[in-house]
Amino acid sequence: MRALAEDGAGEAAAQAGRRRRAALWAHGWLALGVLVFALPIWITLVGSTHDAGTIGRGEVPLLPGSHAVENYATAWAEGGGRFRTTAAAAMLWNSALMALLIAAGKIAISLLSAYAVVFFSFPGRMAFFWMIFVTLMLPVEVRIIPTFQVMVDLSLINTMAGLVVPLVASATATLLFRQFFLTIPDEYVEAAKMDGAGPLRFFRDVVVPLSVTNIAALFVILFIYGWNQYLWPLLVVNDRSLETIVVGLSKMIGTGDAQNEWNTIMATAVLAMLPPVAVVVLMQRWFVRGLTETEK
């Protein structure tokens, strides 16, 4: 009897040991993953605090230097790289405006069209729904030239509207809102009708407030989508006053010549990723929710 109990205790101890070892391995691998993720960022952060000569000579430092303030001031007010193309402050403003307008625009027009499709019955309802749905299959990348020609015809080249309007159609957002609207109980609509509230009133006072969670989750995803646009701004904008920071950053690098002013480019890179990363980290819960919801 006693022997058996000791046996059990021994096994439990062995099991606990095994579990501790497994947990240790898990920590190790995760830490390695985190390091691989962080390495390029760390190098960029460090590089943005040294003078151009240190980096240009290839003396890659691993610890921050003392030139942070001047590098960021230069990048912010004059622009990074040898050619000082556009000040980061202006490009950040353009990116922020574009990202906010795209996110807000997508949410607004998707709310409206999902509302029409779910709460009304009218000829062509499903046809319109499918029309919106099919846009999923027509990303900008596959219709570059003809879309550009439309932009020229509408004189939208080099305008903020040209950056934003063609991107505000959203099949995913419409699908998400439609799915959510279908879960709103019929009784709500009946009650609203009995109170004499019209469809617009119902939309404003019931549907939109109920959708706040979904709107917040989508907003995070769409803001990042807007901020990270690349091909579209590259095509539509060649006026430097409208340059976005992601495209501007890659233009600073040019062909990757070693004799560039890398420290200010690195400072610009940090500025370019700070806003979307901050949004993800600060709104992590909304972000994960938005991501998994929109892909359902």
Partner 1 sequence: MRRRVIFRGKVLPYLLLAPQIAVTLVFFFWPAAQAVRQSLLREDPFGLRSEFVGLENFRAVLADPLYLNAVRNTAVFAAAVAGIALGAALFLAVQADKRIRGAGVYKTLLIWPYAVAPAVAAVLWLFLFHPSIGLIGRALNAAGMAWDYKLDGAQAMLLVIVAAAWKQVSYNFIFFLAGLQSIPASVLEAAAMDGARPAYRFWTVVFPLLSPTTFFLLVVNLTYAFFDTFGVIHALTGGGPGKATETLIYKVYVDGVQNLNFGGSAAQSVILMAIVIALTAVQFRSIERRVHY
Instruction: From 66-74, 86-94, 192-200, 209-217, give the range in contact with partner 1 by CB under 8 A.
Output: 192-200
Is 43 one of the binding residues for partner 1 (CB under 8 A)? yes
Residues 54-93 contacting partner 1, CB under 8 A: 55-56, 58, 60, 62
Is 235 one of the binding residues for partner 1 (CB under 8 A)? yes
H or E element, residue 22: helix 2-47
Handedness of CA 54, 56, 57, 58 (dihedral sign): positive
Q: How many residues make contact with partner 1 (CB under 8 A)?
A: 105
Q: Which residue has the tokens 């994960």?
A: 288
Half-sphere CA count of 31, side-chain side, radius 13 A? 6
- Which one among 116, 206, 210, 216 touches partner 1, defined by CB under 8 A? 116
- Which one among 224, 236, 237, 242 touches partner 1, defined by CB under 8 A? 224
Q: Which residue has the tokens 């007010």?
A: 77
CB of 81 to partner 1, least distance (A): 11
What would the x/- binding string for partner 1 be over residues 199 to 218, using CB under 8 A? Answer: xx-x----------------
CB of 2 to partner 1, least distance (A): 26
CB of 4 to partner 1, least distance (A): 20
| Tokens found for residue 253 | 């690098």
Non-local CB neighbours of 109 within 8 Å, separated by 6+ positions: 168, 169, 170
Residues 5-34 contacting partner 1, CB under 8 A: 22-23, 25-27, 29-30, 33-34
Handedness of CA 196, 199, 201, 202 (dihedral sign): positive
Q: What is the DSSP letter of 85?
A: -
CA 46 to CA 265: how far, in whole Å? 12
Is 165 one of the binding residues for partner 1 (CB under 8 A)? yes
CA 127 to CA 168: how far, in whole Å? 20
Residues in the chain, overall count: 296
Is 110 one of the binding residues for partner 1 (CB under 8 A)? yes
Is 295 one of the binding residues for partner 1 (CB under 8 A)? yes
> Strand, helix or coil at 191?
helix
- Which one among 89, 96, 100, 118 touches partner 1, defined by CB under 8 A? 118
Is 265 one of the binding residues for partner 1 (CB under 8 A)? yes
